[in-house]
Structure 1
Amino acid sequence: MSFDEAVRPRLATRYEGEDTRMTTRQELNGWYSYSIAAEVFAVVAMGLFFPVTLEQLARERGVLFLDKTTPCISNPESGSHNATPKRAENSKQCIVHFLGRDVTTASFAMYTLSAAVLVQALTLACFSSFADHGPYRKKMLLTFAYTGSVASALFLFIGPSVYFLAPVLVIIGVTCLGCSFSLQNAFLPLLVANHPDTRNPEDEVADFELEALNPDATSLSTHRSDPEKLARDLERSAKISSKGVGLGYMAAVFVQILSILFLFLLSKTTNLSRTNPSFPIRLILFFVGLWWAALTTPTLLWLHPRPGSPLPTHSKPFQTQSFIKTILFYTSFSLMSFWRTIRRALRLRQVIIFLLAWFLLSDAIATISGTAILFARTELHMDTIPVALLSITSIACGMLGAFAWPRLAARYALQPKSVLLYCVALMEIIPLYGLLAYIPMIKNLGVGGLQQPWEIYPLGVLHGIIMGGISSYARSVYAPLIPEGSEAAFFALYAVTDKGSSAVGPALVGWIVDSAGTIRPAFIFLAVLAILPVPLVWGLDVEEGRRAAVVMAEMVVREGKIDTYEE
């Protein structure tokens, strides 16, 4: 029997509509293209210009913190004044009336980002199972991509008079980004499984013969019976994933540089940045939205739909159900699937320890990043171009860190857990340095403790190097703790933990800023938050977690239908 005769029927009969075509270079380029499209929005819009734009729009409608009768920027669109934020020591903070209360312009941005990541986490929990079932994977990816790109482009029309609409667009954009990345990641195992370099004909025939002898066996059994095949798949997955990340960051740096050049030329040739300070930034967000939509087009054309196994159906015929009932049914299915993953994770002690540590660590990362941008903007009075240069510095050092940490780990025989601990310890330096300004001697010097704008750049370098290590090694620590065959479900839990935690820290920082009228006291909270994950990471036993994951994976295979909707 030939390979096609033996393997193709087996692959086709696992479920109706399964796509077993070989992964082509063109399809991979379609997958890479989405990284190039969306990573620009993640880095340029979400990482930099969203906080700056939110703060600027609120500032143009706000009043001084200590003198609520004086506008921060009087009639910014008239051109009759200097629109640069006031630099007086006691009048640098502005407040705006939003949702029935006065909030500082900095906390307005922090509250919005908190709400955005919270909505993103809830959406991921409600719809994550659609990534693994039915023909909706690619359709939903494109829907989220184009919706998010439109939300970014619409910032062009959000002036100070309708600043309250900006949080809505931010929430839509951030939610679409997170969901589309989750859907893109769902394609990765399929691209690897059907890749010519990993889909070995002899392995396929062996899988077919195994399943013919044991129809209840899963691909998990095959991987366990052939560790070399699993190793090849993991290596191919790592190569494809890292290339996508690298291309995405390169595109983000390129667009970031273009943004800086655009702002610089605009400041030298027109008075627009003074008469309408937020417009140049909103124009960049418009361009980012166009970039996201345009670079998604190759994904639309080249990426195969690759349908997943069928979703469960109603007890009544599907055609008789209303559209709303169908949506509710599949949403409940997704939530129940997510709940089953949580219940399974609760039985794995090391997974729980890691997720608690990651909850605190990701919250610290997101809060420090957002606070740094707003501190540079409001406390150090840095214009948009220097802040953008700070962002590029951090991104470039993040790429450097991603390559440097593995070399250091290999040279000094460091385990992934040890590298993660070093990164967390180094991150503590950032808030502690900001607190140095409370020491009278350093405060009197006028330098040290982030009193001068140039001081934030070395911290940006440190932050980037730390992020390169955390991005590379957090998943390396978590992956061995996952039962084989449940990677997608557990990484969805990882993503929800990441995004859900990122809603807590920014909201608390916003509350601190509203109470104190300045961002610097928030460094105390950040210093505590950054150190909290250390005991959990220190106490993590990766080897014990790996053994527990093996036992649970074998149990899942024996029980067979443990993952079905009817459980």
Structure 2
Amino acid sequence: MAATSTPDAVRVRRGWYLYGWASHTFPTVVVTVFMSRYLTSLAENAVGTHGRVHVLGVPIAPGSLFAYTVTASTILLVVLMPLVGAIADRTRRKRDIMLGCGLVGALACVAMVVLTGTDWPLGAALFVVAYLGYSTSIVVSYSLLVDLSASTERDHVSSVGWAISYLGGGLLLGLDFVLSLAVDKATLARIALCTAGVWWIAFSVPVRRRLPAVIGTPDPLGRARSALAAGFVQLAATIRHARGFPLTLAFLAAFLVYNDGIQTVTTVAAQYGDKELKLSDTVLLLGILLVQFVAYVGAIALGRLARVFGAKRVVLGSLVVWLGAVGIAYELQVKVAWQFFALAVLIAIVLGGAQALSRSIFSRLIPAGSEAAYFGFYEISDAGTSWLGPLVFGLAYQNTGNYRSALASLVVFFVVGFVLLALVPLRRAIAAAGNPVPDKV
């Protein structure tokens, strides 16, 4: 499948791109734009802005509820995603597992259309289900990058995949913007959340026709075990096996830190713009819509820069930009739309490229035959957010009542992530994993 010259290989790769187009509505429309604000509003309807909702007896500020919900979801994924990845590696039924998990997430989004008034418990539960479905499907999707591209072309393939994903999410968000001119905020949120799921399901249908049912290397344990039992066996084996690749783990640690910062910033952007900067829905939608289309250009551009300077240097440069973006966001003035738009462009340029190149770097650090299981660990951070960033943001807001202070708390993720990544010798890491080392890394 790594060859690109045959019509079948091109067709399969386009099917993989299409799943990104279909599923990226979840991080774009559901996570970044609507659910963070709508879940907060449902909680505020129940207890007021300064009240507390109670989850298992723990009092939570409405402004922290979404961040804590993401944290709880990601903690569940710590075991679930590597397990799903291990099952995918063992059974090689990557297409069906990816689409099946995605269907669960999409149906949860469709069900969000019923959320009204003070339905924050149902909203939080549906979001958790959608988040788990999306994350487990993306674990398998990421692992297909190894099956569908050679090591030397992965920066390009990964960048194109991310770029197309942003176009898909951006197009649906554009339709939501048009709808925002005709309906109230609550109705808009419910329709947008529901249609994100409908879009996801609709564009997943042709993906099934384009991808083969069985993809990957043969199952070394054979078919005697059940898929679930084999998954647990593979998960345990992967954990033991990973200890023999300390440089792979070193990169993963760096990624978990800096990507936690990236994903938390993008997740709380709409909430920050709404609650702290007092921007209208129209401005927020335009800004985040701008991000989707500029991110398409940025992903392609940073992919090309990686051919010249290497993916590691480009990612390090992007982290410097991210650090500056957080500082700029802290200083943004209330109700000044052009500042929000300018920051959106800056973030968009490095957003898709940093994610795409990190994915392609990690794909080269995985021993052959364990791609989906290893990407399960990787996706613990990249599935939208990890647990630590939202937790830090939520605690900072709950203790200060100030969104600017909460945002500033995320600076540490970019500083520490930069240092950790700079210390990873990628050439040695790729060679240690038994993979060919490209000219530029």
Counterpart residue number, 1:149: 106
Partners in 2 of 1:27 and 1:62 — Cα distance? 50
The 1:123/1:398 distance shift into structure 2, 3 A limit, reads: same
TM-score, scaled relative to structure 2: 0.86
Q: How far is the alpha carbon of 1:524 from its aligned partner?
A: 3.5
Of 352, 356, 365 in structure 1, the residue corresponding to residue 262 of structure 2 is: 365
Which of 40, 46, 51 aligns to 1:55? It is: 40
Partner of residue 342 from structure 1, selected from 236, 239, 242: 239
Instruction: Check conservation: 1:117, 1:171, Cα contact below 8 A.
Output: no
Q: How many residues align?
A: 430
Residue segments in structure 2 that go unaligned for 5+ positions in a row:
1-5
Counterpart of 2:321 (choices 421, 426, 432) is 426
Q: Which residue of 176, 180, 185 maps to 2:137?
A: 180
Using the size of structure 1 for normalisation, the TM-score is 0.68
Report the residue type matching 2:317 in the other structure: Y
Tell me which residue corresponds to 1:126: 83
Letter matched to residue 194 of structure 2: F
Determine the C-alpha separation between the residues in 2 that align with 1:302 and 1:352. 34
Larger Rg: 1
**Aligned pair 1:280/2:188, yes or no?**
yes
The separation in 1 between residues aligned to 2:391 and 2:133, in whole angstroms, is: 21
Structure 2 counterpart of 1:247: 164
Q: Could you say which structure has the greater relative contact order, defined with CA pairs below 8 angstroms and 6 or more residues apart?
A: 2
Residues 246 and 470 of structure 1: CA distance in aligned 2, closer, same or farther (over 3 Å) = closer
Residue 400 of structure 2 corresponds to residue 520 of structure 1: no
1:544-559 matched pairs, under 5 angstroms: 544-550=428-434
Q: Secondary structure at the match of 2:230?
A: helix
Q: Which residue of 1 aligns with 2:22?
A: 37
* Residue 401, structure 1, aligned to residue 298, structure 2: yes
- Amino-acid identity (%): 23
Contact 1:35 1:248 in 2 (8 A): yes
Cα 1:551–1:120, aligned 2, differ >3 Å: closer, same or farther?
closer
For structure 1, the residue ranges without an aligned partner over 5 or more in a row are 1-20, 69-94, 193-232, 267-272, 319-325, 436-447, 554-567
Distance in 1 separating the partners of 2:17 and 2:384: 27
Distance apart, 1:58 and its partner CA: 1.7
Aligned with 1:258 (options 175, 178, 186): 175
In 2, Cα distance between equivalents of 1:260 and 1:43: 13
- Quote how far apart the aligned CAs of 1:244 are: 4.0
Q: Separation in 2 of the partners of 1:248 and 1:504?
A: 26
- 1:542: which partner in 2? 426
CA distance in 2, matches of 1:298, 1:314: 29
**Cα distance change, pair 138–433 in 1 and its aligned pair in 2 (3 A):** closer
Q: CA deviation at 1:430?
A: 2.6
String of CA shifts for 1:125-182, please: whole Å, max 9, x gaps. Answer: 2221221233743333332222222100111112123221111111111111122222
Note if 1:505 corresponds to 2:389: yes
SS of the residue corresponding to residue 309 of structure 2 reads: coil
Counterpart-to-counterpart distance in 2, 1:119 and 1:375 = 26
Give the Cα–Cα distance (whole angstroms) in 2 for the partners of residues 64 and 178 of structure 1. Answer: 31
In 1, the alpha carbon distance for the partners of 2:215 and 2:426 equals: 34
Contact 2:82/2:374, CA 8 A, preserved across alignment: no
Pairwise CA RMSD: 3.2
Contact persistence 1:112–1:167 (CA under 8 A): yes
Asked whether the 8 Å contact 2:32–2:269 carries over to 1, the reply is no
The answer to whether the 8 Å contact 1:125/1:335 transfers is no
Counterparts of 2:95 and 2:250, CA distance in 1: 34
Structure 2 letter corresponding to 1:469: G
Secondary structure, counterpart of 2:33 in structure 1: helix
**Paired amino acid for 2:171:** F
**Residue equivalent to 2:356:** 472
Q: 2:427 & 2:223 partners in 1: Cα distance?
A: 43
Q: 1:246 to 1:464 in 2, by over 3 A?
A: closer
